[in-house]
A and B are shown apart, each in its own frame.
Chain A
Amino acid sequence: MRPLNRLQIAWRAAQDIADGMVVNLGMGMPVAVADYLRPEADVFIHSENGVIGAGPLAAPEHIDTDLVDAGSRRITLRPGAAIVDSSWSFAAIRGGHIDVAILGAFEVAANGDLANWDMRLPNKGPLVGGAMDLASCARAVWVIMDHVTRTGAPRLLEKCTLPLTAVRCVKRVYTDLAVVDITQAGMVVLEMLEGLSETDLRQRTGAALTFAPDCRSLTTPPIELLAGDRP
């Protein structure tokens, strides 16, 4: 049993993005989702800074310092892209015009509460950015994250311990061990890593789990995580 690496988690989430969707990808792990969209899917990537239709990162010879995404990455535009100002960009988010926001998280609760903005680090100022807007108002919120912390503590919990980003917002969680839906009845496992038992997964999870009747094996292609290329 080998947990998925970060790029494999991103690959798995990318497979569920439907043709024609408008998608916002959070900083960190989620931006890697753009690299694994199904080739036939015609997707528009929205970035909070107003870019609607972000393309791949710019090659060094084509970098333009005014063409960036919300994470300050030098990007390109896809055909059909547009750029609007911040108030319009967030009106699109609040107004329900973003089909899916894929966000990183520290913790997700069984009722869909999300904590992803403040780890209460000492001597660090807060950084909320657009996290609360996306979590509250995207039509669907998916989370990609490691199933447990570096010290092995669960991140899927009955109740979040860290400050909340939004309440009852997460619909689905992709981890290195499983794909979990958040439903009215709590967390439902849709896919689980081969070689992991239901008991194993429950031990790594801080909330009650039910297993979908058609719970499948979580499989992804091998993707090497390059040193220094960790999203």
Chain B
Amino acid sequence: MPMDKRAGTAAEALADVADGATVFISGFGGAGFPNVLIHALRDRSPKQLTLVVNSATHRYSVTHELIEAGLVRKVVCTAARGHSKEPSPFELQWMDGKIELECVPQGTFAERIRAGGAGIPAFYTPVGLGTELAQGKEVRRFGDREYILEQAIKGDLALVRADIADRYGNLTFRYAQMNFGPVMATAAARVVVEVRAVLEEPIPYERVQLPGLYVDRVVTVGA
């Protein structure tokens, strides 16, 4: 049967997300947030999710709606600070002890996900050494420097925003939209991508920024 990864709707693409899933969400700096998919996930309403997302509080992302809806048990992120005097939905639930937080330096966050998708269970990095975020982690000296051991992150689902897809799931990204999308797509068992448009013709090989082998479903959502 000819391969075709196009899904009709976001809801259809997320129909089988289970309670307790670990979900990656792409986006950083205002670009690459899969907000249509996040809304569809909120409507689907799986419980006890672990979100792996750069920011739990970014103002251009609707990640906070999953948190407000009470679907989230734990957040692994690099930023969890709200932008106004009033605490953000994340901060409220975190202070109440309803959500667990794992705060990770951003490059370690990206590399842990990359490792998860590349068959590397753990790696040493100098980042965080001597700080609170290294507490309890193994330290090892290589040459004249000490490093801490960081574990890979793998997930059940990745929600990614890209620009263009083809039926094979090949993707291109606009400008800074890429950010965490490619690594998140490598580390999740199931990868759903929202795109501006799906082309009938295959994307020329030299323009493919994420090969379709990492992608399960693409949903056209427009600009």
Contact = CB atoms under 8 A, between A and B. Distances in A.
A90 B110 contact: yes
A84 interface: yes
B179 A163 contact: no
Interface stretch (B9-17, B24-32, B44-52, B212-220): B24-32
A221 interface: no
Nearest to B60: A72
A66 B178 CA distance: 9
Interface residues of B, number: 52
Interface string A155-194: 0000000011111000000000000000000000000000
Interface residues of A, number: 45
A89 B129 CA distance: 20
A105 to B, nearest CB: 14
Given A72-B29, A125-B57, A129-B106, A167 B178 contact: no
B129 A87 contact: no
Contacts of B60: 72
Contacts, number: 158
Nearest to B31: A66
A128 B29 contact: no
A133 B148 CA distance: 13
A113 B131 CA distance: 10
Given A133-B127, A167-B130, A90 B106 contact: yes
Given A49-B176, A72-B29, A128-B78, A94 B183 contact: no
A184 to B, nearest CB: 15
A104 to B, nearest CB: 15
State the main secondary structure of chain A at its contact with B.
Answer: loop
Contacts of B81: 124-127
Nearest to A113: B130
Contact of B80 (A87, A127, A165): A127
A86 B180 contact: yes
Nearest to A71: B29
B90 interface: yes
A35 interface: no
Contact of A83 (B56, B129, B178): B178
B30 A137 contact: no
Interface in A28-83: 47-51, 64-72, 74, 83
Given A49-B29, A66-B176, A127-B81, A91 B133 contact: no
A128 B54 CA distance: 10
A85 B30 contact: no
Tell me which of B88, B110, B183 has the highest count of chain A C-beta atoms within 10 A of its own C-beta.
B110
A199 interface: no
Interface stretch (B97-105, B151-159, B199-207): B97-105
Interface string A127-170: 11111110011000000000000000000000000011111000
B129 A167 contact: yes
Interface in A105-123: 113, 118, 123
Given A84-B178, A124-B91, A126-B80, A65 B31 contact: yes
B197 to A, nearest CB: 14
Contact of B177 (A47, A66, A137, A164): A66
A132 B105 contact: yes
A136 B126 contact: yes
Contacts of B54: 86
B113 to A, nearest CB: 7
A85 B185 CA distance: 12
Contact of A125 (B90, B132, B163, B176): B90
Nearest to A70: B29
Tell me which of A83, A85, A113 has the highest count of chain B C-beta atoms within 10 A of its own C-beta.
A85
B158 to A, nearest CB: 13
27 contacts: A48-B107, A64-B175, A65-B31, A66-B31, A67-B31, A67-B176, A68-B176, A69-B29, A72-B29, A72-B60, A74-B30, A86-B54, A86-B178, A89-B110, A90-B107, A125-B94, A125-B101, A126-B81, A126-B101, A128-B133, A129-B106, A137-B126, A163-B132, A164-B130, A164-B132, A166-B127, A166-B130
Interface of A: 47-51, 64-72, 74, 83-87, 89-91, 93-94, 113, 118, 123-133, 136-137, 163-167
